[in-house]
Chains A and B, each alone.
Chain A
């Protein structure tokens, strides 16, 4: 879209852009460039010499069994978080869309976890699922279930998935609800008059019309499960026990920040950047098409 009336000034627009551009260059483009550059270098253990090695860092990273394990954990973790964050949100949104009385009240009570930091959400649930002091954790043990997420990797994974999804439901709920409310009621009524059952109306009319929202949320949730869940993992399990909850993001933090492997962690950064850029591009191409039809 183009404007007809514009202000004429040679210098002013650049001055207006300057603060945003300065920060963007200093803290986005320069570091991203550095990450790509570092990912092509290998430093000797004493930091005295660096050698340009093309893609060797990527070869090392991608053939490292620990990294491949983190890939596997991330796939399981992200799939589960995305599904668990989206399906209940859709159910709740469909229900809230049908409720006439008290809809705002429900919305307020469902929306508030959006305001909670992932790490704080982790603290709340840690207190509940703690094997010795937690209300549910104790209950599980009383029922004879050997619950201790500090010892059992699969339990740790389940807990971090649950907390991460719990925190994200409210975000998805808001988008699904807005999507549902924008579907013209006449279409649904027409289907009802044609004798379609409520289930059929949902799956054959409402759900397809909701697909742009669903697709948008799918991408957002995958990105969320990659990066924002770091706080949950760091607070509850620190990637353990063993490496059961070490996702790619946690691996990057470990290798880059704790173990100070510059080349390797830069290669990992570049791989993750490529993944996010890929996801975002897919998302925008899809939305572009939706706008045109």
Chain B
């Protein structure tokens, strides 16, 4: 069966985990190239051992190939700004795992189908992938006035990119909760916990409702979206049933849905506690798969 050739740009932790996930994914994609800029990087070494073609020439190494249709960019926001232009010129779809957000935010369980004709989509952030579906699930049955999410991640799973630019993470996640989660206003607060052994990624979503809502419908909607996300992130789950409380807010005493979520990683490259990293790469694979299937379909290939 014909497959779409894809490349990973960035041979760090995210790129390496993505590599393992792509290798175990039976679908429309074929991992044709792993690109980094450091020939000594762990990611390139591992790719080489697995007999995946590699290049240490970064984006330029990718552009030398004329059959690659999709690139997963796991570099940095700054680098992606440059990469985005070059990939666009070359007619290659960019799935952006950096916070650059050149293209629109995409969450497979919410809006992926709307964006399959685009050439650049953005994966938001790990907590964005985890929490926007929950905000969206509440908002589609009970309008959300304000959402606040607390993303708690283990210290060892927070890389230097996030550490040097925590604001990007914070603001991007809050924006996504508004733009695609549908909340009228939103905050996102990251918490880094250095406990040993490391804690599993867990997220709390507070969704303040405009008015009283059908509790059963809200809970059903949440459970339904969790199942959607589980299709591509098996370790995504509710820690316990969503809880609806009346909270004092600046807008008066209002019903507030409290959702406690945790994400256990698949353990492909990252340890299982690092659900925050896993959900990014797992969601990106799902996005890549849908794009690849879409490209094949346009070519008349039945998938």
Q: Do A and B bind each other?
A: no
Binding site for B on A (CB under 8 A): none
Binding site for A on B (CB under 8 A): none
